Amino acid sequence: MTTTLLSQLNERLLVKAVDKDGSQRPVDMLDNDSIRPTPTKDRTWTQFTYMMFWFSATANVSNLYSASTGMTMGLTMWEAIACSFGGQIVAGFLMALNGRAGAMYRIPFPVLCRSSFGPWGAFWPTFNRAIMSIVWNGVNSVQGAQCL
């Protein structure tokens, strides 16, 4: 009796998509084209593309601020540049470790989080990463605007 009621409730609450041929199927929010591994034919980035992507991600106003802050703390220009460069190397190494599974298996971050947090628990780190990206973009925008 309880199983029948639960299955009827599940059937009524289930969101359905209509395929091209008119048939209905349940929508699975945990599986879609955007989170599946990238097909081989769609993998167009080269080593140069990755290098330029990460260079553009780290060559920003915030890094200029960190070097100038080092100079105000008493470092010479070359010491500040060396510290900034060393910090970028360490951060790049840690980002490479974090992205290893994505690079090897071509899976995005939300799918990788499922192995640690489960399918529903992975929403938190994904949401947290999105919010931190928004905040960091805001910080860079404000600092860049102050430079004008």
Residue numbers in the chain where pLDDT is lower than 70: 1-2, 25-29
Helix (H, G, I), strand (E, B) or coil at 123: helix
Report pLDDT for 82.
92
> In a 10 Å sphere around its CB, with 0-12 CB exposed, 13-18 middle and 19+ buried, how is residue 123 labelled?
middle
In a domain, 21, yes or no: no
Q: Decide: helix, strand or coil at residue 21.
A: coil
pLDDT of res. 22? 74
Q: Are residues 66 and 86 in the same domain?
A: yes
CA-CA distance, 124 to 6, in Å (whole number)? 28
Listed residues 98, 119, 139: the one ending a domain: 98
Residue 118: domain span: 109-148
pLDDT score recorded for residue 117? 92
pLDDT of residue 1: 62
pLDDT at residue 60, rounded to an integer: 77
Give the count of domains, the chain: 2
Report d(CA 87, CA 72) in Å as an integer.
18
